[in-house]
């Protein structure tokens, strides 16, 4: 037979407490008189919520919180626990199902913390873990899911179509939905949940609602971008920042400042050039260190660690001769652990400023956007334009399927008109031999 009780808690003696006959008396911050049993330099207080102690279906004595302040409510919880124990003994429930029933009542915050710990243990990047926790917490808070038992399809579908989600893109809504789905799948794998109640919610059609589609840059635009990236740090620092001459050139800079800004501009231009000629992603480029650059020998390349690659395979990225020479000069004398490029967290904003300085439109007439990822699109599109085989382009992009590589090819950069000249001639007039045969 189980029992319910309020636990005894001890804590340090409050400041100003007076002990008389084993009873401590003091005033709280609100000015109310408080009393508790004194035990040496500590006081003993009785908790305000009941615990239940019972023997589960496997014969193990367990003490669990009921969350109840009233004894009658706590005893009702105890009755349910003992009933489940009897079902386990009778074989109606398995011990695993009984454990899942307990997890369903636990606050969802504790499950989220365990999920985050699992992601860290799997070796996920700190950025991915932070992103998943943010997305998951947003869904749980706005849908008011307090426990796993609260997670149901109807409120989730309602949330996806109301409030801020009305103006969010299909891809953003899918990102939130996938975040909580992955969390629930993890709960199933760890025997905290029997089934995923959100598994059958269909994903939104991202192709029909594309808000931001990157475009590839032309060769001329890339040259202008590199020149703007190289010149902008110094040219911008030479402008007056305030006053009636604001925005006009003419400020004087110390020689060491000029050298520092010129080096910064060269670093940015070389970073953009590396992205175009290798097809690397920005995060992959940021992960590279001096020791990852193999620049000597007949085949210079960059070693991309599997931890930082999207497909987690690890790759050797070949380098063109001029890029290898640029990197060799840039990294001369650098320590092995130094990043190849000191990219900031605001590198996307830096790219946008370089675009504006170069006079390149952020959006084209098709509504496609020029962004950092456009450099990867440019890599694929320019290779296709040069007549490189599709499988070679796929290998250079490190894609698992050729369909994905096709998405990165901007049709505007492909010379379709020149390709039509390769088709056979199709004259409408009869051939001379046919006319002679008819006569």
pLDDT in tens, 26-50: 888 888 888 888 888 888 888 888 8
pLDDT digits (tens, 9 = 90+) for 271-307: 999 999 999 999 999 999 999 999 988 899 999 998 8
Instruction: Select from 268, 339, 331 the least CA-distant residue to 295.
Output: 331
Residue 434 has pLDDT above 60, yes or no: no
pLDDT band at 125, cuts 50/70/90?
confident
pLDDT band at 95, cuts 50/70/90?
low
Which structure tokens are listed for 43? 């006081």
Q: Decide if 175 contacts 206 (C-beta within 8 A).
A: no
Q: Decide if 367 contacts 206 (C-beta within 8 A).
A: no
In the chain, the domains with their CATH numbers are 1-92 (no CATH), 108-209 (1.10.150), 219-417 (1.10.443.10)
Cα 432 from Cα 430, distance rounded (Å): 7
Residue 198 has pLDDT above 70, yes or no: yes
Cα 214 from Cα 211, distance rounded (Å): 10
Tell me if residue 267 falls in helix, strand or coil: helix
Average the pLDDT over each of 58-62, 302-306, 432-436 and give the range with the smallest value: 432-436
Confirm whether pTM is higher than 0.85: no
Average the pLDDT over each of 97-101, 154-158, 278-282 and give the range with the smallest value: 97-101
Cα 262 from Cα 214, distance rounded (Å): 30
Cα 246 from Cα 240, distance rounded (Å): 5
pLDDT digits (tens, 9 = 90+) for 372-430: 999 999 999 999 988 899 899 999 999 988 888 888 888 888 777 777 777 888 888 76
Instruction: Select from 304, 295, 300 the least CA-distant residue to 318.
Output: 300
* Backbone phi and psi for residue 63, each to the nearest 5 degrees, phi listed first: -120, 115
């Amino acid at each position: 037979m189980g029992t319910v009780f309020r636990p005894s808690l001890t804590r340090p003696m409050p400041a100003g407490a007076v002990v008389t006959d084993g009873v401590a008396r003091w005033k709280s911050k609100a000015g109310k008189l408080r009393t508790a049993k004194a035990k040496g330099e500590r006081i003993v207080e009785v908790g305000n919520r009941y615990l239940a102690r019972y023997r589960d279906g496997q014969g193990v004595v367990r003490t669990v919180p009921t969350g109840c302040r009233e004894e009658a409510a706590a005893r009702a919880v105890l009755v349910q626990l003992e009933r489940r124990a009897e079902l386990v003994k009778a074989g109606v429930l398995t011990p695993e199902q009984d454990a899942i029933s307990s997890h369903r009542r636990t606050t969802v915050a504790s499950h989220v913390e365990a999920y985050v710990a699992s992601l860290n243990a799997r070796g996920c990047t700190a950025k991915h873990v932070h992103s998943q926790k943010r997305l998951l917490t947003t869904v749980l808070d706005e849908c008011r899911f307090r426990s796993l038992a609260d997670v149901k399809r109807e409120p989730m579908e309602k949330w996806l179509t109301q409030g801020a989600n009305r103006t969010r893109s299909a891809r953003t809504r899918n990102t939130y939905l996938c975040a909580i789905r992955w969390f629930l799948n993890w709960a199933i794998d760890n025997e905290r949940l029997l089934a995923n109640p959100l598994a059958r919610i269909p994903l939104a059609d991202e192709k029909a609602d594309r808000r931001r589609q990157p475009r590839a840059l032309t060769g001329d635009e890339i040259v202008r971008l590199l020149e703007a990236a190289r010149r902008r740090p110094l040219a911008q620092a030479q402008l007056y920042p305030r006053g009636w001459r604001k925005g006009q050139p003419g400020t004087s800079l110390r020689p060491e400042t000029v050298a520092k800004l010129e080096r910064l501009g060269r670093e940015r231009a070389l970073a953009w050039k590396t992205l175009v000629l290798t097809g690397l992603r920005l995060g992959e480029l940021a992960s590279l260190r001096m020791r990852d650059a193999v620049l000597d020998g007949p085949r210079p390349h960059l070693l991309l660690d599997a931890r930082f690659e999207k497909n987690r395979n690890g790759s050797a990225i070949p380098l063109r001769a001029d890029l290898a020479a640029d990197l060799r000069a840039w990294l001369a004398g650098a320590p092995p652990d130094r990043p190849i490029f000191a990219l900031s967290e605001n590198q996307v904003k830096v790219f946008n400023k370089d675009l504006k300085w170069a006079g390149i439109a952020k959006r084209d007439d098709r509504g496609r956007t020029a962004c950092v990822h456009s450099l990867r699109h440019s890599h694929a599109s320019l290779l296709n334009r040069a007549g490189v085989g599709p499988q070679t382009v796929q290998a250079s992009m490190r894609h698992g399927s050729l369909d994905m590589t096709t998405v990165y090819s901007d049709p505007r950069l492909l010379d379709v008109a020149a390709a039509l000249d390769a088709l056979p001639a199709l004259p409408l007039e009869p051939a001379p031999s046919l006319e002679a045969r008819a006569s």
